[in-house]
Amino acid sequence: MRIGILCAGDSELAPFLSCLENPAVTEKAMLKFYEGTLCGIPVTALYCGVCKVNAAIAVQILIDTFRVDAVINAGTAGGMDERLEIFDTVAAQTAAYHDVAEDILTEFHPWMPAPRFLSDPRLLEAARTAARRLGRRIWFGPVVTGEQFIDQEHREEILEQFAPLAADMETAAAAHVCYVNQVPFLALRTITDMAKNSGVGTFEENCQKASAIARDLTLLVLEELKKEPLPLRVNTPLLVTDRLILRRFEPGDVQAVYEIFSDPTVNRFLPWYPLKDLSQARQYLEEHFLSFYEKPSGFRYAVCKKEDGIPIGYVQISQDDSHDLGYGLRKEFWGQQITTEAARAVLAQAKASGLPFVTATHDKNNPASGRVMEHIGMTYRYSYVEQWQPKDITVTFRMYQINFQGDPGAVYRKYWEMYPEHFVETFQTENTV
């Protein structure tokens, strides 16, 4: 487990560097990344500079280059809620932009169900335990981000719309990058100034002490994580259920891949044409599965019966913002609820890995797939009509969703916005076959 620690300024990073053991420095994109250990946990820490873009650049490098398993944004903030006092600390349960139109995030990439980034519940729980040990006032609630100092007029507007505890210039951007990369995130910000005592002078006067408090809370969070580490970002970890083994596809699975993906009946509702021979199966295995396992994280499973360990189907979750669940099974195994058992295990792993939600779609002419979705806890949200490629046929899809974080009723709206013909159906569900 490696944790990324992001600070906006050098004064906020300084308390961490004084504690960092075995430090080493790497420079990239005009930033200095400090690797070492804190509380016995490997960390990569840096200050990125003020503003959203700087924070986003730094977090993406933490994820891509240093392979961090979570990001903690530690430092200072301005208080927004009048109940707060200087040197109180805010643990962000949610982060939002106060200077970005909400539909930019819901109607365009990353097509969020709601324009709020949720902190990882495991990191929040560690922060709650750490807060009880710190002996200082810690608040849990919303934080807003924007690239401006907030005057009284804008303060009232922001309070009315977002009711935030604190405001800064980086948290939502860092959370945004973590969201699209499926990396756990938490922000811990100590208050340096309030409306009644604001200004650059007040910030500078209080920054050193506030940064030390944020550092102290972060170290306690790391101690909690050391007791119960976050799952590492892993790609398709082995899963075992009552009847099944869910594993990665392997180079020796060419024949099994051919038998799964060559059957026209199985392929009817899948987004590709049936494989014609073992040569195509070998190519598909390499391009769709084996090369995918080189990524740092993901979910592309071979579904195998325990008796022989040979793949008879697959379950996967897409890497894009839809987190789309897909599955297929050789027809001789239909009617045994194997797909339901496998998909339920993969959803549990996705939840444990920090995915905020998963969606799934099925052709309305394939109601059996919809029954699987219902039996693994997903609920129908809406339907839409698509000219489906590569088969170039008109299909009415039903979209299902399950949320692991935030509002259970929040809806992924990308397909609704993308396809003009969309609607909500009323139909009777059937029992699982």
Tell me the per-residue pLDDT of 301-322, one tens digit each, with 9 for 90 and over.
Answer: 999 998 888 999 999 999 998 9
Instruction: Indicate the range of 97-101, 102-106, 323-327, 421-425 predicted with least confidence.
Output: 102-106
Please report the domains of the chain, with CATH numbers, ordered by start residue.
3-227 (3.40.50.1580), 239-423 (3.40.630.30)
* Angle between the N-to-C axes of helices 338-352 and 367-375, in degrees from 0 to 180, rounded to the nearest 10: 50
The answer to whether the beta carbons of residues 291 and 268 sit under 8 Å apart is no
Which sign does the torsion angle of CA 134, 140, 144, 150 carry?
negative
Give the whole-number percent of the chain exceeding pLDDT 70: 96
Beta bridge partners of 327: 315
Cα within 13 Å of Cα(258), Cβ side: 13
Please confirm, yes or no, whether 250 is among the known catalytic residues.
no
**Spatial distance between the Cα atoms of 143 and 91, rounded to a whole number of angstroms:** 8
State the amino acid at position 110 in one-letter form: P
Instruction: Indicate the range of 106-110, 188-192, 308-312, 391-395 predicted with least confidence.
Output: 106-110
Q: Catalytic residue among 69, 120, 193, 216, which?
A: 193
Per-position DSSP letters for 221-279, written without gaps between them: HHHHHHHSPPPP--BS--EE-SSEEEE---GGGHHHHHHHHS-HHHHTTSSSPPP-SHH
- How many C-beta atoms surround the C-beta of residue 148 within 10 A? 10
**Spatial distance between the Cα atoms of 49 and 355, rounded to a whole number of angstroms:** 29
- Going by their DSSP bridges, the two strands 311-317 and 325-329 should be labelled as antiparallel
Supply the pLDDT for residue 432: 37
Burial label, 354 (beta-carbon count in 10 A; 0-12, 13-18, 19+): buried
Q: Is 74 in a helix, a strand, or coil? A: strand
The answer to whether the beta carbons of residues 407 and 116 sit under 8 Å apart is no
Which sign does the torsion angle of CA 141, 177, 17, 223 carry?
positive
Dmax over Cα atoms in the chain, in whole Å?
74
Q: Catalytic residue among 12, 69, 168, 216, which?
A: 12
Q: Is the pTM of this model over 0.75?
A: no
Would you place residue 433 in the very low, low, confident or very high pLDDT band (cuts 50, 70, 90)?
A: very low
Average pLDDT, the chain: 91
Report residue 375 as tokens: 């039996």
Please confirm, yes or no, whether 193 is among the known catalytic residues.
yes
Supply the pLDDT for residue 362: 95
- How many C-beta atoms surround the C-beta of residue 381 within 10 A? 19
